[in-house]
Amino acid sequence: MCRHVAYLGDPVAFGELVLAPEHSLSRQAWEPRTQSSGVVNADGFGVGWYAEGDPVPARYRRAVPVWADTSFTDLARVVRTGAFLAAVRGATRPGADGEAAAAPFGAGPWLFSHNGAVEGWPDATAPLAAALSPGEWLRLEARTDSAFLWALVLHRLRAGDPPEQALGDTVREAAGAAPASRLNLLLTDGTRIAATTWGNTLYSLTGPDRNGSPRTVVASEPYDDDPLWREVPDRTLLTATRTEVTLTPLKEPSL
């Protein structure tokens, strides 16, 4: 199923949000509060972050539960960043792709995560596969529904679509082909965030951090009890910067 979180703001040690809060992403790996399917996200985890002056993010991904990686605590304590995307994975089906199947997926400046499942993948989405070239299929990071969705989104981004259109059109096409799918997508380039709600929960938090600086967090569920958290309605496209969140309804696909 998965849980994910993205952050834009002043540089912080990403462990302050991923590990430290009472209901952090790490805890959501074994005790999510709002997850609609499954109860454990122990099939891997990952984090991607941006360093000052470098538009291409670094990624750290593992095929083990986040609590089983003792080195990650040190990494999360010392790496400071003004933008990151992190996720814990609950696999849709067993597979042998290892850490390659763990989000965030990435290419160029982009980081991507999928919270949900494509019902009937891959057969149900076969009509969508024609949009991808042989080269794009060869570059698929893993043999999973999430990696396939990322390939579709990336195809649109490289064609010049803005991120919100790339996510929205991909969700509508996937939902049209596989109507029972859960399609919460999360995308960032380190300066903006785009996300969708389609069958799972999503929340946003925008407001001053403890030093009074603007920040935005988008997450599957709140990691603390800050009253600034706002639930995003289902079937919604979210776009965000450090200072602003915009919500746009997603239309149902034409059947």
CA distance 241 to 192: 5
Predicted confidence (pLDDT) per residue in 137-169, tens digit: 999 989 999 999 999 999 999 999 999 999 999
Q: How many angstroms separate the Cα of 241 from the Cα of each of 65, 133, 173?
A: 30, 32, 26
> Which residues lie closer than 8 Å to 227 by C-beta, 6 or more apart?
none
How many structural domains are present in the chain? Answer: 1
Query: Is 130 assigned a catalytic role?
Result: no
pLDDT value of position 93: 64
What percent of the chain shows pLDDT beyond 90? Answer: 84
Question: Considering the domain boundaries, does residue 255 fall inside one?
Answer: no
- What is the helix (H) or strand (E) element at residue 11, kind and residue range? strand 3-13
pLDDT value of position 255: 53
pLDDT value of position 1: 62
- What is the helix (H) or strand (E) element at residue 164, kind and residue range? helix 163-177
184 close to 238: Cβ distance less than 8 angstroms: no
How confident is residue 33, by pLDDT bands cut at 50, 70 and 90? confident
Question: Considering the domain boundaries, does residue 68 fall inside one?
Answer: yes
pLDDT value of position 251: 86
Question: Considering the domain boundaries, does residue 195 fall inside one?
Answer: yes
Q: Which two tokens stand for residue 73?
A: 């605590």
Question: Considering the domain boundaries, does residue 20 fall inside one?
Answer: yes
The residue written with tokens 């122990």 in the block is: 42
How confident is residue 222, by pLDDT bands cut at 50, 70 and 90? very high
Strand order through the sheet with 236-240 = 105-107, 110-117, 182-188, 193-197, 236-240, 245-249
- What is the helix (H) or strand (E) element at residue 219, kind and residue range? strand 214-219
CATH number, domain of 57, equals 3.60.20.10
Question: Considering the domain boundaries, does residue 134 fall inside one?
Answer: yes
Predicted confidence (pLDDT) per residue in 43-98, tens digit: 899 999 999 999 999 999 999 999 999 999 999 999 999 999 999 987 766 565 68
Catalytic residue from among 2, 47, 128, 232: 2
Instruction: Please tell me whether residue 98 adopts helix, strand or coil conformation.
Output: helix
Question: Considering the domain boundaries, does residue 228 fall inside one?
Answer: yes
110 close to 189: Cβ distance less than 8 angstroms: yes
Domain of 153? 3-249
pLDDT reading at 198 higher than 80:
yes
Is the model more confident about 217 or about 37? 217
Question: Considering the domain boundaries, does residue 254 fall inside one?
Answer: no
Q: Which two tokens stand for residue 226?
A: 């800050």
Q: Is the dihedral of CA 212, 216, 219, 222 positive or negative?
A: positive
- Which 3-state string (H, E, C) describes 70-93? HHHHHHHHHCEEEEEEEEECCCCC
Question: Considering the domain boundaries, does residue 156 fall inside one?
Answer: yes
